[in-house]
Amino acid sequence: MKTASLVAALLTTGLTFAAEDRQHNPDSFTWNPELSKEGPVLVTVSLKSQVAAVYRNGVRIGSCEVSSGKPGHETPTGVFHILNKDADHHSKTYGNASMPFSERLTWDGVALHAGGLPGYPSSHGCIHLPYEFSKKLFGITHKGTTVLVTNSAPDVHVSNQHHLGFAGGETSDFTWNPAAATSGPVSLIFSKPDRKLYVIRNGVTVGEAPTQSGWFDKRPKGTSAFVFSGWVEGKDGVAESQWTQVGGSKANHAEPISDWFKLDPRFQHLVQGLLAPGTNLVITDEPVTSSSRSDSGFRVLQGRKEEAAK
């Protein structure tokens, strides 16, 4: 609990970046890596507010203005994983244009990189960052780092704490292939239309299972993101996982997250074995697809599969 209390305190140190208060200033950003010196990194991008935020081990350490895809070249929404990095990248598509500190999100050209920031969406699909910010971000990410892109407003309520017990449900068919990715950061993704939990490690899907009951009717609409903080003692001495909300629709219900869904107990046990501080949980009411850009829905990029097909 001491760790959780520390995280909560750090999250309320005034690092919010409300859209209504933002003035267009492409050179202005926050960067406070000393608040969390180690742990998995999560990047969130709000297309609606043109704002990015960076978390390390669940603590927000930076935020900045961005410029995403212009009409006709919209940046896709979804859970992406950095596929490769190039500090001195030049575009083969756009006349050898310089794209410093490029971090690729899709194999067909969407990336985080330093670029123009006119105060509105202006790119061909990439997410432009301030030059100095992109350099700092490049220094703390790696292949497999999770990047969450949504249409929602920025996350101005990051101090919420939630408990997750992974309530047991009926047995069901599920897939589990941990050999597909034996190491790297883990993301859990719940989709309302799909009624499924997807387990992604280092950008590769290692498992998926159907969820049961009407759990999605109990949670806010939209897309919400959480970061695993650790285990705490729950009811009757049963351990519950503790999560800190870092993005999306505010979860203001009294019920714990475990009341929102149920899983096959066997699959639940396998998932719990992968949980570590920094594990991401994304809950969305959009369908999950493996498409990189063309189809509608919330994309989940499977790095090795797309790389092999390229």
Of 157 and 215, more confident: 215
Can you say how many angstroms the Cα of residue 192 is from the centroid of all Cα atoms in its chain?
17
Our answer to whether residue 128 is catalytic in this structure is: no
| pLDDT classification of 95: cutoffs 50, 70, 90 | low
Q: How many CB atoms lie within 10 A of CB 38?
A: 11
pLDDT above 90 coverage of the chain, percent: 32
Our answer to whether residue 64 is catalytic in this structure is: no
Catalytic residue among 64, 81, 126, 162: 126
Whether pLDDT at 256 is above 60: no
**Average pLDDT score over residue span 229-244:** 76
| pLDDT classification of 118: cutoffs 50, 70, 90 | very high
- Fold type of domain 161-309: L,D-transpeptidase catalytic domain-like (2.40.440)
- Fold type of domain 2-150: L,D-transpeptidase catalytic domain-like (2.40.440)
Of 153 and 134, more confident: 134
> Considering the chain, what is the average pLDDT of its residues?
77
Angstrom distances, CA of residue 249 to CA of 42, 94, 105, 257: 17, 36, 24, 14
Could you tell me where in the chain the CATH 2.40.440.10 domains are found? 2-150, 161-309
pLDDT above 70 coverage of the chain, percent: 72
Separation between Cα atoms, residue 118 and residue 104, nearest integer Å? 22
Catalytic residue among 64, 81, 89, 113: 113
Whether pLDDT at 250 is above 50: yes
Whether pLDDT at 145 is above 70: yes
pLDDT digits (tens, 9 = 90+) for 12-64: 333 333 333 456 777 789 999 999 998 888 999 999 999 999 998 888 999 99
Residue 257 has a pLDDT of: 56
Task: Break the chain down into helix, strand, coil percent, rounded to 5.
Answer: 20, 35, 45
Residue 51 has a pLDDT of: 94
Q: How many CB atoms lie within 10 A of CB 289?
A: 17
Model pTM score: 0.77
**Average pLDDT score over residue span 269-296:** 77
